[in-house]
Chain A
Amino acid sequence: MHLANLALHRHLLQEAPMSNSLEPKKSGVAKDINDVSYVEVEQPGPASLGKQSLGFWVTFKTMFKKNLSVQYPDVKAPTEERFHGRHQLNRHPDGLEKCIGCELCAWACPADAIYVEGGDNTPGNQVSPGERHGAVYQINYLRCIFCGLCVEACPTRALTMTNEYELADDSREKLIFEKQDLLAPLRAGMVMPPHPMYPDMDENNYYRNEVKSADPSQGPIFDGTTAGEAK
């Protein structure tokens, strides 16, 4: 009789909890699956009535402890710093979009929640530095699992996640976020794209963080006061 079978047999025959049982010894790596040695392990027996009734004391005591509930809609507890919330499409310091429409985020997405269509940058329609920009950008928050693989995949750091977690809504359409819902707001010192790249700079300068703010030649610089222009 093999020892393993014997242990099983014991287990099947005894209705009461066993005082001892056989468990594989955790020493070294067994070469053969059958080559397992067993050791006897102490199992806790049934607890006494006194020990069992301790649970009543626990629940009673808990009544007088401080509540841990957060009164959510009134009080909003801050999330952890790196909480995975709604996505954001970032901008370069002069306001040009970082997204280049490469679709790597869409390919990385395990839930197939992202849809991207790239578009060409033309002299009259320069949305991002370089040749291409994201013309259509959608994230379906009914599919998104907030794993952050898209953020890891993004080559230009265009896609990051915010801490915003209030993403409930009452229709499927409303939960497909378009590019304008995801884009970071225009900050002071930026120019609303499309506008030409910084004078005498190309996309490589942008990626090396050499563009610090917009130049007046690129267009009217946003002073951060008119809130309507942020979207």
Chain B
Amino acid sequence: MTTAQLLGQDPGWLVVLKAVLVFVICVVSTLMAVWTERRVLAKMQQRTGPNRVGPFGLLQSLSDGVKLALKEDIIPAAADKVVFIAAPIIAAAMCFMSFAVIPMTGVVTIFGRETAMQLTDIPVGVLYILAVTSIGVYGVVLAGWSSGSTYPLLGGLRSSAQVISYEVAMGLSLVAVFIYAGSMSTSDIVASQHENIWNVVVLFPSFVIYVISMVGETNRAPFDLAEAEGELVGGFHTEYSSLKFALFFLAEYVNIIAVSALATTLFLGGYHALPGLGFTEAWLGGWFGIVWFFLKVNLFFFIFMWLRASLPRLRYDQFMKFGWKVLIPASLIWIMVVASLRVIQQNGASRTVALAFALGIVVIVMAISTVFEKSKEAARKPLPDGAAPDFPLPQLPGVSSFNASSQSRTTQAPTSGGTNE
């Protein structure tokens, strides 16, 4: 019986229970994530981090959340009230929705019913996640627009452009996974990895592209241009306060956990144990899978924190250039390679043929990039000495020969006029 069939037999109360569980898991892991991030980031900067509220400061984010909720809620006079209120709701709700198709355990029993810890399983589960996160962008755009203020507008535009650009690369990186698993259903992808080998091994380039684009997708450092404090104050949520701001905050972290969970599902074998530790999956009546699942999610979350601690923020044009001119072409080429290899394999070609094909691709790509680099270097040749610019230059203090070229042009003008006559 497949997971989809298993989940189809769930009675209504179980669906509601699982929905509540998913919601609770999201909120609690957000609270934990905020605390973990602050502590780990502090460690990386040789500080201690929050350690006062509760044991090890564990309740810090909870008390921050309560404080945030009790703050005065300000709606700017210039804001579009309806949209201003709707935007954070859209942003937060969509993040939770993407968690519905993430499989967190294999077959388990809840109150005597056999089921899996996954709210629903649809044949196009991964596409559904992409669609839902795309709708989440509306929250950001609308928040920026409805604030009736400059910085939020710019921040909202930036962040939507960013998310949309990196969604393309993300979607393309997932295509290779679909080709290999032969399905878009999250539980089927997990099952296929369990049968063969984790996708992170076979589809390593896809994995790298996915990890980069998931950072871009979630507006996190080093791609946090949307809230580049020095330039845009807080970005799209500059004008937000109180619970509405808390919703954006929640959305950001749930989003991070959601993309990490998706990465776990698609590339790291989902809830399955590490190879060789398969016996652990039977522990706690199958519930131990959730431990493996969250271990892997936390690995990705650690990458998020590590990136934030190590890298400076990218410039906007560099960021866009990287997305459109590097990530997308690279994943397109990689999909071609994967698709060809898959066809060769399915037509029963020997392993040597497949390997030779893969090696040939690598050689071609290397040759192209070498030629490209050479031509770039040639174009970078320094100007010959004495080459005069054909545009006016700012005057340096006391330089008398300012704009020598433009002066010579004006003296030449009458002579050229003379030849015309």
A residues with CB within 8 A of B = 1-2, 4-6, 8-10, 12-14, 16, 18-20, 32-34, 55-56, 58-60, 62-63, 65-69, 71
Query: CA A58 – CA B382 in complex, angstroms?
Result: 36
Which residues from chain A contact B382 at a C-beta distance below 8 Å?
10, 14, 18-20
Other-chain contact of A5, B40, B306, B309, B396 (Cβ < 8 Å): B396
Which residues from chain A contact B42 at a C-beta distance below 8 Å?
69
Other-chain contact of B40, A14, A16, A63, A67 (Cβ < 8 Å): A63
Other-chain contact of A33, B46, B51, B397, B401 (Cβ < 8 Å): B397
Interface size on B, residues (CB 8 A): 32
B residues with CB within 8 A of A = 40, 42-48, 51, 306, 309-311, 380, 382-383, 385-389, 393-394, 396-402, 404-405
* A-B CB contact pairs (8 Å), 28 listed: A1-B401, A2-B396, A2-B399, A2-B401, A2-B404, A4-B399, A5-B393, A5-B401, A6-B386, A8-B396, A9-B383, A9-B389, A9-B393, A10-B383, A13-B383, A13-B389, A16-B380, A18-B382, A33-B398, A55-B311, A56-B310, A59-B44, A59-B306, A62-B46, A63-B44, A67-B46, A67-B47, A67-B48
Given A33-B397, A63-B40, answer yes or no on A1-B48 (Cβ-Cβ < 8 Å): no
7 A-B pairs with least C-beta separation = A69-B48, A63-B43, A59-B309, A59-B44, A9-B389, A59-B310, A55-B310
Which residues from chain A contact B51 at a C-beta distance below 8 Å?
71
Query: CA A16 – CA B401 in complex, angstroms?
Result: 28
**Interface of chain B, main secondary structure:** loop
Nearest CB to that of B385 among chain A residues?
A6
Query: CA A16 – CA B310 in complex, angstroms?
Result: 24
Q: Is A1 in contact with B404, judged by CB distance below 8 angstroms?
A: yes
Other-chain contact of B386, A1, A4, A19, A71 (Cβ < 8 Å): A1
A-B contact count (CB 8 A): 75
Which residues from chain B contact A67 at a C-beta distance below 8 Å?
43, 46-48
Which residues from chain B contact A9 at a C-beta distance below 8 Å?
383, 387, 389, 393
Which residues from chain B contact A6 at a C-beta distance below 8 Å?
385-386
Nearest CB to that of B382 among chain A residues?
A10
Nearest CB to that of A9 among chain B residues?
B389
Which residues from chain B contact A60 at a C-beta distance below 8 Å?
44, 306
Cβ of A45 to closest chain B Cβ, rounded Å: 11
Given A1-B388, A14-B380, A60-B306, answer yes or no on A8-B393 (Cβ-Cβ < 8 Å): yes
Query: CA A12 – CA B387 in complex, angstroms?
Result: 13
Cβ of B299 to closest chain A Cβ, rounded Å: 14
Query: CA A13 – CA B382 in complex, angstroms?
Result: 10
Query: CA A5 – CA B393 in complex, angstroms?
Result: 7
Which residues from chain B contact A66 at a C-beta distance below 8 Å?
46
Which residues from chain A contact B398 at a C-beta distance below 8 Å?
32-34
**New A-B pairs, 16, CB < 8 Å, besides A9-B393, A16-B380:** A1-B404, A2-B404, A5-B396, A5-B399, A9-B389, A13-B383, A19-B382, A34-B398, A55-B310, A56-B306, A59-B309, A59-B310, A60-B306, A67-B46, A67-B48, A69-B46
Nearest CB to that of B40 among chain A residues?
A63
Query: CA A10 – CA B380 in complex, angstroms?
Result: 11
Which residues from chain A contact B393 at a C-beta distance below 8 Å?
5, 8-9
Q: Is A68 in contact with B47, judged by CB distance below 8 angstroms?
A: yes
Query: CA A230 – CA B393 in complex, angstroms?
Result: 72
Cβ of B382 to closest chain A Cβ, rounded Å: 7
Which residues from chain A contact B401 at a C-beta distance below 8 Å?
1-2, 5
Cβ of B366 to closest chain A Cβ, rounded Å: 16
Which residues from chain A contact B404 at a C-beta distance below 8 Å?
1-2
